[in-house]
């Protein structure tokens, strides 16, 4: 009782299968590479050194420190010819097993990211004294000798950003908000507030900072590093209160601040955005027309440098502290908004940077990394 339709269907199915099979055969007729050769040796100077990385639950595509650190690992593969392995954590409970798997995979140095991995890094490092570890954005004085913390005195660069914002603001109000109240977030806000304060002292002005009170260590937070819409609502609130420059310290949530400022500028306002971690002009190009500058933490370079040192047998457990002096933290170029910054303000910023490096101007934050 097979109908014509059934038969047709079978036949056309067979036709499709035949077509697919022939395509497969055509594409599968290539010559195999000579056997016995080592696989994946593209770099001229391949090394057997194995550098590894474990992300926190944000994943390697978080547009923040996981991503920057991972780019450092990839740069090391390219520039130093090392081998790499990386494992992404899906939950906090993955850290310990993931770190163990890296050790048993034979990693010489494993980079971990963030305070969430602090305890796991400490316990695995203690149990495996012959493996080396580096942890980004976290330091624990009780770390064993085979852990190198990579930390940043971000307050120094944020201080410059605060001074810049106070100098550029036309309304006399600038604002900041954070993702979650963590030391690595509030250190930006401390430096920013102090930079504004320093500007006021020098110039006899009274530029206000909304969103953070350094003395009380309290301010405005989104509650996570994901809710872009909340960042937008918060920024709209700041703009309505009269602020014209906003520093969101919340990773991708900064995009919400960017779109709020873009919207406001369509109706005649002149809001500006300060980005964090990376140069937002390059990493968040949607908002490049309003990005005044960025408070950068150059994690990519730091990770590559630590891997290079370890490969060359020069590993040490002294914390790497990114400062203005060693370029670990920096104020990014003004790019398109260069004309918005008066020439004498640029000069003052250059001088201020020198003063901070020389110690003439002290930048303090209770969240600053301790040596």
Positions in the binding site for another protein (CB under 8 A): 24-25, 27-33, 35, 57, 85-88, 90-94, 96-98, 101-102, 104-105, 115-116, 118-119, 127, 180-183, 186, 223
Tracing tokens 């002294």 back to the chain, one arrives at 318
Q: How far is the CB of 353 from another protein (least distance, A)?
A: 29
Nearer to another protein, 193 or 290 (CB): 193
**CB–CB of 255/226 below 8 Å?**
no
Q: How far is the CB of 183 from another protein (least distance, A)?
A: 6
Nearer to another protein, 4 or 25 (CB): 25
Q: How far is the CB of 98 from another protein (least distance, A)?
A: 6
Nearer to another protein, 62 or 94 (CB): 94
- Which of 91-113 are b and which e, b meaning 16 or more Cβ less than 10 Å from the residue's Cβ? eeebbbebbebbbeeebbbbbbb
Instruction: Output the DSSP codes for 318-360.
Output: SPEEE-TTTTSEEEPP-GGGGGGS-HHHHHHHHHHHHHHHHTS
Distance CA(80)–CA(74), nearest Å, equals 10
Q: What are the strands of the beta sheet with 132-136, ordered from one edge? A: 83-87, 50-54, 109-113, 132-136, 147-152, 320-322
Nearer to another protein, 10 or 104 (CB): 104
Nearer to another protein, 139 or 169 (CB): 139
Q: How far is the CB of 105 from another protein (least distance, A)?
A: 5
Distance CA(171)–CA(158), nearest Å, equals 20
Nearer to another protein, 60 or 320 (CB): 60
Exposure of 297 in the CB half-sphere (CA atoms within 13 A):
29
Q: How far is the CB of 30 from another protein (least distance, A)?
A: 4
Q: How far is the CB of 36 from another protein (least distance, A)?
A: 12
Give the contacts of 67 (CB within 8 A, at least 6 positions apart): 60, 61
Nearer to another protein, 177 or 287 (CB): 177
Q: How far is the CB of 87 from another protein (least distance, A)?
A: 5
Q: Can you list the positions of beta strands (E) in the chain?
A: 50-54, 83-87, 109-113, 132-136, 147-152, 173-178, 208-210, 212-213, 218-219, 245-249, 272-277, 291-297, 320-322, 329-331
């Amino acid at each position: 009782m097979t109908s014509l339709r059934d038969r047709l269907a079978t036949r056309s199915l067979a036709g499709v299968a035949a077509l697919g099979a022939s395509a497969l055969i055509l594409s599968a007729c290539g010559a195999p590479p000579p056997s016995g050769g080592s696989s994946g040796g593209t770099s001229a100077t391949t090394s057997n050194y194995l550098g590894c990385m474990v992300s926190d639950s944000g994943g390697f595509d978080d547009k923040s420190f996981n991503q920057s650190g991972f780019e450092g690992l990839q740069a090391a593969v390219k520039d130093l010819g090392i081998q790499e392995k990386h494992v992404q954590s899906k939950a906090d409970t993955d850290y310990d097993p993931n770190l163990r798997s890296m050790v048993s995979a034979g990693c010489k140095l494993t980079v971990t990211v963030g305070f969430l991995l602090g305890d796991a890094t400490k316990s695995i490092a203690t149990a495996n004294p012959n493996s080396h570890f580096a942890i980004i954005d976290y330091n624990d004085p009780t770390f064993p000798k085979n852990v190198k913390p990579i930390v940043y005195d971000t307050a120094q660069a944020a201080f410059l950003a605060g001074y810049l914002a106070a100098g550029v603001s036309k309304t006399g109000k600038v604002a900041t908000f954070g993702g979650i109240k963590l030391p690595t977030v509030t250190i930006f806000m401390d430096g920013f507030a102090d930079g504004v304060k320093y500007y006021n002292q020098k110039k006899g002005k009274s530029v206000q900072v909304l969103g953070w009170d350094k003395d009380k260590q309290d301010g405005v937070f989104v509650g996570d590093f994901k809710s872009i819409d909340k960042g937008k609502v918060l920024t709209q609130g700041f703009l309505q209160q009269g602020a014209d420059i906003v520093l969101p310290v919340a990773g991708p949530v900064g995009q919400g601040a960017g779109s709020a400022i873009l919207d406001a500028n369509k109706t005649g306002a002149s809001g500006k955005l300060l980005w964090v971690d990376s140069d937002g002009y390059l990493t968040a190009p949607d908002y490049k027309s309003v990005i005044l500058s960025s408070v950068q933490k150059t994690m990519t370079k730091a990770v590559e440098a630590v891997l290079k040192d370890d490969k060359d047998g020069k590993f040490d457990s002294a914390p790497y502290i990114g400062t203005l002096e060693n370029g670990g933290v920096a104020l990014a170029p003004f790019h398109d908004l260069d004309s918005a910054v008066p020439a004498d303000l640029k000069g003052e910023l250059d001088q201020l940077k020198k003063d901070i490096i020389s110690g003439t101007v002290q930048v303090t934050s209770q969240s600053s990394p301790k040596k």
